[in-house]
Chains A and B, each alone.
Chain A
Amino acid sequence: MIRLLSVRLLQAILVMVAVTAIAFVMFRFVGDPVASMVREGATQAEKDAVRVALGLDKPVLAQFVKFVGQVLTGDLGTSYRYQQPVTTLLLSRLPATLELVIVATVLALSLGIPLGVLCALKPHAFFSRLTQSATLVGISMPTFVTGLLLILVFAVNLRWLPSSGRGDLVDIGFWQTGFLSLSGLKSLILPSITLALFQLTLIMRLVRSEMIDVLSSDYIRFAFARGLPRTYIYGRLALRNALMPVVTVTGLQIGQLIAFAIVTETVFQWPGMGLLFTNAVGYPDVPVLAAYLLFVGFLFVMINMIVDILYTFIDPRLRTR
C-alpha cells in the first residue's frame, strides 16, 4: 500500500510540475506583462524599469525557478483587471464555489444512488424505463440550458427564487457563508439544482450499470441460495461493491464538476471562482487564468490522492499490498 501511495505521489508531483510550467509560460509569454502593468503612453525607460522590476530581463530558467518559489509561497501575481493579488481574489471567491459544489454533490449523491439501485433492481419496471429515458434527456441538456429554464420558470414567471447572486451573506471570520440567511439559502436553490442535475444523471447511470453487473455475479447468487435477507444482500453485499467505481468516477468527475461549476456560476452570476475565470477569459486577465489553472491542477491532484486512499478503505484487497 505504501508503494502504491508513493507511486501516486510521484505522479502527482510530475503533473504539478507540468501544470506549473504551463502556467509559467502563460504568465511570461502570453500577451505582454509589461504593457499591461505600465500606464498608457509610457516611455521606453519606464517600460525597462518595470521589466527589470518584474525580473523579466533574467534568463528564462532563472525566471521559472523564481516563479516556482513564488507559487510555493502563494504569490500568484497581480490581476490585470482588478489590480489585486490573484491569491486574495481567488480565496475571496472560494467560499461561494465550495458551498455551491458541496450542496450540489450531496444532492446528486443522495438522489442518484437510490435511483440507480432502484433502476437496477427492477430494470424493466415502468418507473425504471422512465428514469432511464429521463437521464438521456438530462445528458443531452446542456447545463446552461437547464439553468436558463429554471430561471425562466422560478425567477421570471413565478418569482419565487432569485436568479442571480448569493443573497445576504453572514461573515464567520474568514468565511462568508450564504447558509445562515434566508435569502442566502433561497439563492442557493436554483444554482445547486442546476449543478446537481448534471452529476445526478451520471451517478445514476453508473450505479445502475454497476449494480446490474454485481447482481449477476456468483457471490450474490450464493447469498440468495443461503437465504440471506434481501436487504442485507442488496444493501451490504451488492451496493458496497457497486459503489467502488462510483467513488473513482466521482473523483475523476471533479474536473467536470469544476467545468460545470464555471458554467453554472456564469448563468446565475454566482460570485465564485468560476465566474472570476469566465470574466478573465473575456478580458483577458492572464494572471487570473494561469492561477486558476494552477489551482485546478492542484485540486485535481489532491482529489485523486484522496480517492486512492478512500479506495484502500473500501477495498480490503488493496490494504495488504
Chain B
Amino acid sequence: MATQSLMRRLPPVSVVIASLVLVVMLVLVIFAPMIAPMDPRDVASYSLMDMEIPPVFMEGGDSRFLLGTDNQGRDLVSVILFGLRISVVIGLGAVVFAAVLGVVLGLVAGFFGGVVDSIVMRIADIFVSFPTILVALLISGIARAQLSAETMLAWAPLVLIFSIAINEWVQYARTVRASTMVEIARDYVRAAKVIGLPSTRIMGRHILPNIMSSVMVIATINLAGAILTEATLSFLGAGMPPTYPSLGTLIRIGNQFLFSGLWWIAVMPATVLVILVLAVNVIGDYLRDHFNPKLMAR
C-alpha cells in the first residue's frame, strides 16, 4: 500500500520538476546574451582552432566548452542557448497567434450560431484534415517560389509562426465554441443581453473570462506541439536558416556530422529540445487532468 500511495503522488513531483526545468530554461532564454560564454553570431568570438572538441566529460574535452564545439569551433552551450531562444519565441508566437485566431472565431461561431457557425466550423474541418507539418511545408514551398532568398531569410520566423498557427487555431475554436454555447444559456449572459450591451462587449468582457481556463490548458499542450513542429520543419530545411538557427536547425546541421563520430553536435541540441518539450508536456498533461478532464481527452 505504501508504495502505491507513493506512486499516486508521483505526478505532482514530476510536475514540480518540470516547472523548475521550464523556469530555468526561460531564465536562460531571456538572459542568453549575458549567460552564453560567447556570441555565436560574432565571428571574432570563436576560432577554427577550437573546432570539433568533444564535451567535457569525454576524453579530449576542454573545460572552456562544457558541451563541446561544432565544426566551426563555436561553443555548443552558446549556440544552443541562442537556438533555444529562437525555438521558444517561435513556439510562443505560434501559440498566441493560433489562440487569438481560434478564440475570436470560436466566440463568434458560438455566440451567433446559425450560418456564421456553420461557415467557421466547416473551414475548421478542412484545416484540421490536413496535418500541420504538411501544410507548413506547402506554405514554405510556396513562400520560396514567391519570395526572393533574402526576403525569405528575413521573413522565416513569421512564415513559420503563420504556417504552424494556421492549423492549430481549430482546437481553440472548437473548444471555445462549445464553451460559449454553454455560457450563452446562463443567466448572466441573458441579463447582459437584456440590458442591451453590445455583442462584442458580452463576448469579450463576460463570456471570455469564464472560458479562459480551458484556453490556457489547450495553449500549454499546444506549446509543446508548436515547438516540435517548428523543430521538425527546421530539421527538414523548411524552417529557420543556418544563420539564425533554432534547435531544429542545429540538429539538421549536426546530422551531417553523425557519421564522422561528432555525435554531440546533433545530440546536444536534440537533448535540450526533448527536455523542453517533455517539461511542457508533463505540465500540460497535469493541467488537462486536473482542470478539464473531459476537455481534450482524445
Contacts of A133 in B (CB 8 A): 14
User: Interface residues of B toward A: which range?
Assistant: 35 or more
**Which chain A residues in 23-55 approach chain B with CB under 8 Å?**
26, 30-31
A302 at the interface (CB under 8 A from B): no
B86 at the interface (CB under 8 A from A): no
Q: How far is the CA of A260 from the CA of B224 in the complex (A)?
A: 16
For B131, give its contact among A126, A249, A258, A280 (CB under 8 Å): A258
For A18, give its contact among B126, B238, B255 (CB under 8 Å): B126
User: Chain B nearest CB: distance from A153 CB in Å?
Assistant: 10
Question: Dominant SS at the A interface?
Answer: helix
Q: Is the CB of A142 within 8 A of B228?
A: yes
Determine the residue in chain B with the shortest Cβ distance to A80: B145
**Which chain A residues in 254-270 approach chain B with CB under 8 Å?**
255-256, 258-260, 262-263, 266
User: Chain B nearest CB: distance from A285 CB in Å?
Assistant: 8
**Which chain A residues in 121-141 approach chain B with CB under 8 Å?**
124, 126, 129, 133, 136-137, 139-141
Which of A136, A148, A281, A282 has the most B CB atoms < 10 Å from its CB?
A281
Q: Decide yes or no: A129 and B232 within 8 Å by CB, A15-B126, A140-B224, A284-B144 being known contacts.
A: no
Q: How far is the CA of A136 from the CA of B11 in the complex (A)?
A: 12
Query: Which candidate, B41-49, B113-121, B134-142, B174-182, is the interface stretch facing chain A?
Result: B134-142
For B236, give its contact among A136, A206, A281 (CB under 8 Å): A281
Q: Is the CB of B236 within 8 A of A255?
A: no
Q: How far is the CA of A202 from the CA of B126 in the complex (A)?
A: 22
Q: Is the CB of B263 within 8 A of A255?
A: no
Q: How far is the CA of A233 from the CA of B143 in the complex (A)?
A: 55
Contacts of B261 in A (CB 8 A): 156
Determine the residue in chain B with the shortest Cβ distance to A257: B131
Determine the residue in chain A with the shortest Cβ distance to B146: A30
Query: Which candidate, B28-36, B98-106, B188-196, B269-277, is the interface stretch facing chain A?
Result: B269-277
Contacts of B274 in A (CB 8 A): 137, 140-142, 145
For B138, give its contact among A152, A206, A209, A293 (CB under 8 Å): A293
Q: How far is the CA of A109 from the CA of B267 in the complex (A)?
A: 29
Q: Is the CB of A281 within 8 A of B141?
A: yes
Q: Decide yes or no: A256 and B131 within 8 Å by CB, A144-B235, A277-B137, A278-B236 being known contacts.
A: yes
Contacts of B282 in A (CB 8 A): 136
**Which chain B residues in 262-298 approach chain A with CB under 8 Å?**
263, 266-267, 270, 273-274, 277-278, 281-282, 285, 297-298
B8 at the interface (CB under 8 A from A): yes
Question: Dominant SS at the B interface?
Answer: helix
Contacts of B273 in A (CB 8 A): 142, 145
Determine the residue in chain B with the shortest Cβ distance to A205: B298
For A259, give its contact among B134, B144, B266, B285 (CB under 8 Å): B134
Q: Is the CB of B267 within 8 A of A140?
A: no
Q: Is the CB of A286 within 8 A of B145?
A: yes
B258 at the interface (CB under 8 A from A): yes
Determine the residue in chain A with the shortest Cβ distance to B278: A140
User: Chain A nearest CB: distance from B266 CB in Å?
Assistant: 6
Determine the residue in chain A with the shortest Cβ distance to B234: A144
A245 at the interface (CB under 8 A from B): yes
Q: How far is the CA of A263 from the CA of B129 in the complex (A)?
A: 18
Q: Is the CB of B270 within 8 A of A31?
A: no
A305 at the interface (CB under 8 A from B): no
Contacts of B238 in A (CB 8 A): 278, 281-282
Contacts of A206 in B (CB 8 A): 298
For B137, give its contact among A136, A137, A262 (CB under 8 Å): A262
B2 at the interface (CB under 8 A from A): no
A300 at the interface (CB under 8 A from B): yes
For A129, give its contact among B7, B146, B263 (CB under 8 Å): B7
B237 at the interface (CB under 8 A from A): yes
For B4, give its contact among A26, A124, A284 (CB under 8 Å): A124
Q: How far is the CA of A286 from the CA of B145 in the complex (A)?
A: 8
Q: Is the CB of A282 within 8 A of B237?
A: yes
Determine the residue in chain A with the shortest Cβ distance to B254: A148
Contacts of A282 in B (CB 8 A): 144, 237-238
Contacts of B137 in A (CB 8 A): 262, 277-278, 281
Determine the residue in chain A with the shortest Cβ distance to B227: A142
A105 at the interface (CB under 8 A from B): no
A151 at the interface (CB under 8 A from B): yes
Determine the residue in chain B with the shortest Cβ distance to A263: B232
With A249-B298, A293-B134, A300-B129 known, 10 other A-B pairs at CB within 8 A are A126-B7, A142-B231, A142-B232, A142-B273, A148-B270, A151-B258, A156-B258, A156-B261, A284-B141, A296-B134
Can you list 29 A-B contacts with CB-CB less than 8 angstroms, sorted by A residue number? A30-B142, A124-B8, A129-B10, A133-B14, A136-B278, A137-B278, A140-B224, A142-B228, A142-B277, A144-B235, A145-B270, A145-B273, A145-B274, A148-B266, A148-B267, A152-B258, A152-B263, A152-B266, A156-B261, A209-B298, A258-B131, A259-B133, A281-B237, A282-B237, A284-B144, A286-B141, A289-B142, A296-B130, A296-B134
The 4 closest A-B pairs by CB, nearest first: A259-B131, A31-B145, A140-B278, A259-B133
